A and B are shown apart, each in its own frame.
Chain A
Amino acid sequence: MSTATVVVTGLGVASPTGLGTREHWAATCEGRSGIGRLTRFDPSGYPAKLAGEITGFTAEEHLPSRLIPQTDRVTRLALAATDWALADAGVRPDELASFDMGVVTASASGGFEFGQNELRKLWSQGSQHVSAYQSFAWFYAVNSGQISIRNGMMGPSGVVVSDQAGGLDAVAQARRLIRKGTRLVVSGGVDASLCPWGWVAQLAGGRLSTSEDPARAYLPFDPDARGYVPGEGGAILILEAAEAARARGAHSYGEIAGYGATFDPKPGSGRPPGLRKAVELALADAGAEPSDVDVVFADAAGDPELDRAEADALTQVFGPRGVPVSGPKTMTGRLYSGAASLDLATALLALRDGIVPAAVNVKLSPEYDIDLVVDQPRRLGLRTALVLARGYGGFNSAVVLRAPAPH
């Protein structure tokens, strides 16, 4: 396998902070949060009532009618984000060979709302009333499948399921495929299951904030941290070998320079959590020193124990307050597989513009010796960013991004 440089040439964002890269980035820099009380269904009977919802997305405006009956909201968002990402990259899939294009997305739940509706019909009306599309519309791989069908992408494809870490793991797999010779890979992740069935599944994880105040519910690294607010959405990225991108005159947001992934030890083993090791592996893969990193996009769990583990890892690798830490998730909630993909997109925009977005509403706890950027975004020259993500059950992943070399 080659070690070809792999770059991001297109971004497509569907986030509670905005539809489209421009809207998302403007809201992120202004500190406008997308978290509020759930409107998709009445949450009053549930212990958690807040979410990061995407507003203003009408699928019929973005997709042909053939796709509407067979897709869940999550897939509609993913397909629209893919269209935007391809357009941003200046790629017309019908001009490339089908087998030169692959799709690797991450997914944590699939199409829950579609599944809920069909299970309701099964239970109340009988099996004859269940849609034939239920066979795939709920499935983890549905976004990869529908993106590949819609765009005629028949190269190596797949889906990664590792909760939040998946948003980074998918991009790492996409990079492997490009290094093995695939011309272009659509990657990233979009999750969306803000329906009652999806909601109880998320509640079962036991880490949701039950605060009803949007400004006090999700406070990573804050003394009042009490869990997280879930959200919907994510980002799609277009990945290509730098050489191929250059050859067609494409713009590059930056390089996927390094990747590391670890799994936490068994609880009670006494061994340390694996996040620090994931960071070290990613830095080594990128040929970078901790001092090269200009900004870290934190996983920002909002759970005291997990915040402690992340702050410790950052302090151990970078030293006390050794690097600015950004937490834009505070404006979207945690988007499961969409979270780290969105952080990758946000980090690439941060590198482009030299702006570190602030974590909103958070007051850094004196317990943590990290340089968390709060209140106002910080203007800095940025060359290298580190994005972290942890998935429920012990997944840790880290990606190093590097800004394109100046011309």
Chain B
Amino acid sequence: MSADAFTRTDLTRILLEAAGAEEGFDLDGDVLDTEFTALGYESLALLETAGRIERTYGIALDDDLLTDALTPRALIGVVNDLLTVARTV
């Protein structure tokens, strides 16, 4: 996929495919700065989500990224940084 940017919509779509949604959470709501663990996504769900992002966008995410207190905003940022690097190389 040659998207210019990795958007919140992209993340929500991949997240739903990879791990579904916890009942009671609206991924389109005010959750950008909520940690994934608080949204019900444990490490394995994040591993699956990261794998799908890597395959879709042809990038490699650092494994350490998933062990931190990761939020949707942070993940979108990291992916976009990598896409920018990939475009400028």
Q: Give A contacts to B, CB under 8 Å.
A: 64-70, 128-129, 131-133, 135
- Report A-chain residues with C-beta under 8 Å of the C-beta of B45: 66, 70
- A sample of 10 inter-chain contacts (CB < 8 A) reads A64-B20, A66-B21, A66-B22, A67-B20, A69-B18, A69-B48, A70-B19, A132-B47, A132-B48, A133-B44
- Report B-chain residues with C-beta under 8 Å of the C-beta of A133: 44, 48
- Report B-chain residues with C-beta under 8 Å of the C-beta of A128: 51, 54-55
The answer to whether A69 and B55 have CB atoms under 8 Å apart is no
Alpha-carbon distance A135/B42, docked complex (angstroms): 15
Task: Flag B1-23 by CB within 8 Å of A: 1 or 0 each.
Answer: 00000000000000011111111
Q: How far is the CB of A235 from chain B (nearest CB, A)?
A: 27
Alpha-carbon distance A67/B40, docked complex (angstroms): 12
Most chain B Cβ neighbours within 10 Å, of A64, A69, A70: A69
The prevalent SS among residues of B at the interface is: helix
Residue of B nearest to A60 (CB): B20
Contact-residue bracket for chain B: 10 to 19
- Report B-chain residues with C-beta under 8 Å of the C-beta of A68: 20
- Given A64-B20, A65-B16, A69-B20, output 18 extra A-B contacts at Cβ < 8 Å: A65-B20, A66-B19, A66-B20, A66-B22, A66-B40, A67-B20, A69-B17, A69-B48, A70-B19, A70-B44, A70-B45, A128-B51, A128-B54, A131-B48, A131-B51, A132-B44, A132-B48, A135-B44
Alpha-carbon distance A42/B23, docked complex (angstroms): 37
Q: How far is the CB of A299 from chain B (nearest CB, A)?
A: 39
Residue of A nearest to B16 (CB): A65
Alpha-carbon distance A226/B17, docked complex (angstroms): 44
Alpha-carbon distance A68/B21, docked complex (angstroms): 10
Q: How far is the CB of B63 from chain A (nearest CB, A)?
A: 12
Q: How far is the CB of A196 from chain B (nearest CB, A)?
A: 24
Residue of A nearest to B54 (CB): A128
Taking a contact as CB atoms closer than 8 A, the residue among B19, B22, B23, B40 that contacts A69 in the complex is B19
Q: How far is the CB of B59 from chain A (nearest CB, A)?
A: 12
Alpha-carbon distance A135/B43, docked complex (angstroms): 13
Residue of A nearest to B46 (CB): A132
Q: How far is the CB of B27 from chain A (nearest CB, A)?
A: 11
Q: Using a CB-CB cutoff of 8 Å, which residues 18-56 of chain B contact chain A?
A: 18-23, 40, 44-45, 47-48, 51, 54-55
Residue of B nearest to A63 (CB): B20
CB contact under 8 A between A65 and B48, given known A128-B54, A128-B55, A129-B55: no
Taking a contact as CB atoms closer than 8 A, the residue among A66, A70, A132 that contacts B51 in the complex is A132
- Report A-chain residues with C-beta under 8 Å of the C-beta of B44: 70, 132-133, 135
Alpha-carbon distance A70/B44, docked complex (angstroms): 10
Alpha-carbon distance A215/B21, docked complex (angstroms): 45
Most chain A Cβ neighbours within 10 Å, of B17, B18, B40: B18
Alpha-carbon distance A67/B23, docked complex (angstroms): 11
Alpha-carbon distance A67/B20, docked complex (angstroms): 7
- Report B-chain residues with C-beta under 8 Å of the C-beta of A65: 16, 20-21
Alpha-carbon distance A132/B40, docked complex (angstroms): 17
Alpha-carbon distance A70/B51, docked complex (angstroms): 14
- Report A-chain residues with C-beta under 8 Å of the C-beta of B55: 128-129
Alpha-carbon distance A67/B45, docked complex (angstroms): 10
Alpha-carbon distance A96/B72, docked complex (angstroms): 35
- Report B-chain residues with C-beta under 8 Å of the C-beta of A69: 17-20, 48
CB contact under 8 A between A64 and B51, given known A69-B17, A132-B44, A133-B44: no
Q: How far is the CB of A40 from chain B (nearest CB, A)?
A: 23
Q: How far is the CB of A125 from chain B (nearest CB, A)?
A: 8
Alpha-carbon distance A252/B77, docked complex (angstroms): 57
- Report B-chain residues with C-beta under 8 Å of the C-beta of A129: 55
Alpha-carbon distance A128/B48, docked complex (angstroms): 10
Q: How far is the CB of A23 from chain B (nearest CB, A)?
A: 27
Q: How far is the CB of B44 from chain A (nearest CB, A)?
A: 5
Q: How far is the CB of A135 from chain B (nearest CB, A)?
A: 8
- Report A-chain residues with C-beta under 8 Å of the C-beta of B17: 69
- Report B-chain residues with C-beta under 8 Å of the C-beta of A131: 48, 51
Enumerate the 7 nearest inter-chain pairs by beta-carbon distance, A residue then B residue, closest first: A65-B20, A66-B20, A132-B48, A132-B47, A65-B21, A132-B44, A64-B23
Q: How far is the CB of B51 from chain A (nearest CB, A)?
A: 6
- Report B-chain residues with C-beta under 8 Å of the C-beta of A135: 44
- Report A-chain residues with C-beta under 8 Å of the C-beta of B23: 64, 66
Q: How far is the CB of A309 from chain B (nearest CB, A)?
A: 46
Q: How far is the CB of B18 from chain A (nearest CB, A)?
A: 6
- Report A-chain residues with C-beta under 8 Å of the C-beta of B47: 132
Alpha-carbon distance A68/B44, docked complex (angstroms): 14
